[in-house]
Amino acid sequence: MISVEDARALLFELVTPLSAETVHLAAAGGRILAQNVAATRDQPPFEASSMDGYAVKATEVELHAMFKVIGESAAGKRFEGKVGPGQAVRIFTGAPMPDGADFVVIQEDVERRDSLITITHPPGEKTNVRPAGIDFAVGTKIKAPRQLRPEDIALLAAMNIASVPVTCKPVVALISTGNELVMPGETPGPDQIIASNTFGLKALLENNGAHVRVLPIAQDTVGSLETAFGLAQGADLVVTIGGASVGEYDLVADVSEGLGLEQSFYKIRMRPGKPLMAGRLGDAAMVGLPGNPVSAMVCGYLFLVPMVRRMLGIEDVLPPLQQAQLKAPLTENGGREHYMRAIVDSDGIRACDDQDSSLLSVLAHANALLVRQPNDPARPPGDKVTYLPI
Amino acid sequence: MISVEDARALLFELVTPLSAETVHLAAAGGRILAQNVAATRDQPPFEASSMDGYAVKATEVELHAMFKVIGESAAGKRFEGKVGPGQAVRIFTGAPMPDGADFVVIQEDVERRDSLITITHPPGEKTNVRPAGIDFAVGTKIKAPRQLRPEDIALLAAMNIASVPVTCKPVVALISTGNELVMPGETPGPDQIIASNTFGLKALLENNGAHVRVLPIAQDTVGSLETAFGLAQGADLVVTIGGASVGEYDLVADVSEGLGLEQSFYKIRMRPGKPLMAGRLGDAAMVGLPGNPVSAMVCGYLFLVPMVRRMLGIEDVLPPLQQAQLKAPLTENGGREHYMRAIVDSDGIRACDDQDSSLLSVLAHANALLVRQPNDPARPPGDKVTYLPI
């Protein structure tokens, strides 16, 4: 058995950043920028007014000065002439400054009568002129990799970058295995239960940028598993759930090895989730998760999400651990790293009472996984502990 | 002019939670559960083994005890007979307990020869049996409203709830206005710039559960604006960007009032974003955002996202403000609430140098909006301040 950290290092060896595809800006939110992009223009592309007012010569600006308004510069339609001595041009926010003018007197500081304005309030020192290119200039880069936030999308639009190179979405194929499983919406037999892991993992991995294919449930037969692996063709990551334990009916290891799996490791020194196996299966990475619902989801957070993030080319792939104060004591931990379902709020963190790895209701109630190191001693309230928000 | 808080209260009066639609579980991640749902079954539906081992009578369990293995209970296929005295049934994790047995000796604690097992290690007190319904029972509720996390999706699947009632996605129509604007990918004239706000706001609102329709840019004419409002028909929220200031070319207020807008308010005592107007336009709420890119995005966070959350039926709709220590001093604030672009990390928060509301590059660099109250005094490093993560 290996540690969680060693397992993750080995899993990272199974995947590499995927290639890029080009998407329209309207579909690029949340995607990972795959290559540096550069502005194709200056912003603003011209000297622009930052206020509504009158464009004049700065040297002529003083209280009680009068100007003759000779035209207008609006956003989208500049004044084509030149501002001479004693002249002003009506101007609006964002409009190009006319030639000859280098100061905007805001409209609140003037009185206008027909085509004459008088400065009636001290206009101050600020010119209210935005230099060309003050936001960005031709060639200003946005550097990859970067997950594109709404602000980035707005900036890319302003740069007139309508198509964006982003990392392809990793395709993850999920295979639930077990004669006891039926799909949600079906009528289970008396000995059967509903396949829940694939749906939970699908939501988790899609939240993290993957494209998920839920495959038909594989029965506990060689033929059924081989069919499922066949249907997984083309995926970047194939995940089986269940059938990775040691019982006679755990066929996943046998079948995947028969199909050419180069096994990387088997079993991790952790709770929940010990029976996890991984390897390389043709062009894809393969991970075999345990079938207990909570184990599968915890392994999703600890291993599958980081693998997806690595395939997306994200630099910071590790689970974002945080710290909080214990609100209730913890007993001594055993020899395996333990990811306890827990509830954290601004006052601290408390492990849930029942840590049985079959209890989805407890997991759905929790909002954190409290991390215990192997043989971590008993801990009193007030101790600082590490957790992963979920 | 009204305060940000008062404006938000008035905006909330313009929207109500939308009706529900039914979606398949596979598409329900991140959606808002609209009605309570209840488990249609017990989980586990039968007493089940929590380990791989042998099911026996608890009263017979002691070191060196021997049993005859009379059959097997696998997940999905129970043992149909009854376990009598001195008998054992091979059993796997999750499989139904056979009649007559109430204890599972784990396989690591026995030695097997043909059909005989001997307990070779003290099996302890734990029965390794999960009672029926220990995870959830028929009728166990998941309560609305609730944003469905991956764990909830797994739990809903286990409950065999294949279709889920979720709040309809609010439809938001975005209209950029201004003769100076062209769409990304087009070739702007010398006086033109690229419409960036609609794309940034689309990403922001979609992240928060809306369905966004980007409408064609409206020119600064009555006809063009009327066409845009016509195209917005059917939206729950119509948002214009630009044209809400006081210049002669700001037609949005005139045209929307001509179309029957019942104005709720006009102008908010804040920076950036003062010229914001809102009202009821037929069946839709209408918000007119200022055209400066940073103003539009900040108003998106402060007003549009909460409105979308309210339409989704989410209880906690306010922006999630947090606190941090100042790393650099702040000068005194003016009479308007100020949302300064800022960068926060584990050491504290620092306002960006240039707060001009036209600078998208600064906004894209920032990860927080530092909130200043009206007339907030100058503040030294170390002071606690409030911010909104972006």
Residue position matching structure tokens 């379902």: A341
Contacts of B187 (CB under 8 A, 6+ apart): none
Residue B224 has pLDDT above 60, yes or no: yes
pLDDT at B185 (0 to 100): 95
Residues of chain A with pLDDT under 70: 244-250
Q: Which CATH class is domain A322-389?
A: mainly beta
Q: Which residues from chain A sit within 8 angstroms of residue B245, using beta carbons?
A: 52, 92-93
DSSP B303: I
Instruction: Mutate one of A73, A142, A151 to test the B interface: name it (highest B CB count within 10 A).
Output: A151
Backbone phi, psi, residue B232, to 5°:
-80, -5
The answer to whether B300 contacts A150, with C-beta atoms less than 8 Å apart, is yes
What B275-278 contacts at long range (C-beta under 8 Å, 24+ apart), as own/partner pairs, is B275/B244, B275/B245, B275/B246, B276/B7, B276/B244, B276/B303, B277/B244, B277/B252, B277/B253, B278/B7, B278/B10, B278/B11, B278/B14
A350-364 tens-digit pLDDT: 999 999 988 999 999
Distance from CA of B362 to the nearest CA of A (A): 8
Q: Which residues from chain B sit within 8 angstroms of residue A361, using beta carbons?
A: 135-136, 140, 155
Domain ranges of chain A: 4-17+169-311, 20-43+143-167, 48-130, 322-389
The answer to whether A94 contacts B52, with C-beta atoms less than 8 Å apart, is no
pLDDT at A344 (0 to 100): 98
- Give B254's pLDDT tier (boundaries 50, 70, 90): confident
The answer to whether A25 contacts B153, with C-beta atoms less than 8 Å apart, is no
Q: Which CATH class is domain A4-17+169-311?
A: alpha beta
The answer to whether A155 contacts B363, with C-beta atoms less than 8 Å apart, is yes
Taking CA–CA distances from A361, the nearest residue in chain B reads B135
B69: number of Cβ within 10 Å: 18
- Give B129's pLDDT tier (boundaries 50, 70, 90): very high
B55-86 tens-digit pLDDT: 999 999 999 999 999 999 988 889 999 999 99
ipTM of this complex prediction, to 2 decimal places: 0.93
pLDDT at B251 (0 to 100): 84
CATH hierarchy code of domain B4-17+168-311: 3.40.980.10
Fold of B21-43+147-167: Molybdopterin biosynthesis moea protein, domain 2 (3.90.105)
Q: How far apart are the C-alpha atoms of B87 and B98, rounded to whole Å?
A: 11
Over residues B20-48, mean pLDDT? 97
Over residues B306-313, mean pLDDT? 98
Residue B243 has pLDDT above 90, yes or no: no
Q: Which residues from chain B sit within 8 angstroms of residue A76, using beta carbons?
A: 178-181, 189, 191-192, 220
Fold of A20-43+143-167: Molybdopterin biosynthesis moea protein, domain 2 (3.90.105)
The answer to whether A135 contacts B197, with C-beta atoms less than 8 Å apart, is no
Q: DSSP characters for A192-261? A: -EE--HHHHHHHHHHHTT-EEEEPPPBPSSHHHHHHHHHHTTT-SEEEEES--SSSTT--HHHHHHHTT-
Taking CA–CA distances from B366, the nearest residue in chain A reads A151
Q: Which residues from chain A sit within 8 angstroms of residue B201, using beta carbons?
A: 150, 154
- Give B151's pLDDT tier (boundaries 50, 70, 90): very high
3 state DSSP class of B227 = helix
Q: Which residues from chain B sit within 8 angstroms of residue A162, using beta carbons?
A: 183-185
Taking CA–CA distances from A301, the nearest residue in chain B reads B150
Query: Hey, which residues does B37 pair with through a beta bridge?
Result: B142
Distance from CA of B382 to the nearest CA of A (A): 21
State what percent of residues in chain B have pLDDT above 90.
88
Q: How far apart are the C-alpha atoms of B259 and B248, rounded to whole Å?
A: 19
pLDDT at A19 (0 to 100): 98
A226-282 tens-digit pLDDT: 999 999 999 999 999 987 554 555 688 889 999 999 988 888 999 997 778 899 999
The one-letter code for the residue type at A19 is: S
DSSP A330: B
A48-130 has the same fold as A20-43+143-167: no
Q: How far is CA B240 from the centre of its chain?
A: 25
pLDDT at B245 (0 to 100): 53
Residue B191 has pLDDT above 70, yes or no: yes
Instruction: Mutate one of A46, A160, A192, A367 to test the B interface: name it (highest B CB count within 10 A).
Output: A160
pLDDT at A248 (0 to 100): 56
B262-305 tens-digit pLDDT: 988 888 999 997 778 899 999 999 999 988 899 999 999 999 99
3 state DSSP class of A132 = coil
The answer to whether A363 contacts B206, with C-beta atoms less than 8 Å apart, is no
How much is the CA Rg of chain A, to the nearest whole Å? 31
Over residues B331-360, mean pLDDT? 95
Over residues B13-23, mean pLDDT? 97
Q: Which residues from chain A sit within 8 angstroms of residue B45, using beta carbons?
A: 188, 190, 192-193
The answer to whether A297 contacts B195, with C-beta atoms less than 8 Å apart, is no
State what percent of residues in chain B have pLDDT above 70.
98
Could you tell me which of A97, A125, A126, A109 has the C-alpha nearest to residue A67? A109
Cβ(B175)–Cβ(B241) below 8 Å:
yes
The answer to whether A207 contacts B96, with C-beta atoms less than 8 Å apart, is no
pLDDT at B371 (0 to 100): 98
> Could you tell me whether strands B181-182 and B146-147 are parallel, antiparallel, or unpaired per DSSP bridges?
unpaired
Cβ(B317)–Cβ(B15) below 8 Å:
no
pLDDT at B233 (0 to 100): 95
Q: Which residues from chain B sit within 8 angstroms of residue A181, using beta carbons?
A: 76
Q: Which residues from chain A sit within 8 angstroms of residue B180, using beta carbons?
A: 74-77, 94-95
pLDDT at B365 (0 to 100): 96
State the count of interchain CB pairs (< 8 A) between A and B: 292
Backbone phi, psi, residue B161, to 5°:
-105, 95
Q: Which residues from chain B sit within 8 angstroms of residue A74, using beta carbons?
A: 179-180, 220, 247, 249
Span B48-130 CATH architecture: Beta Complex (2.170)
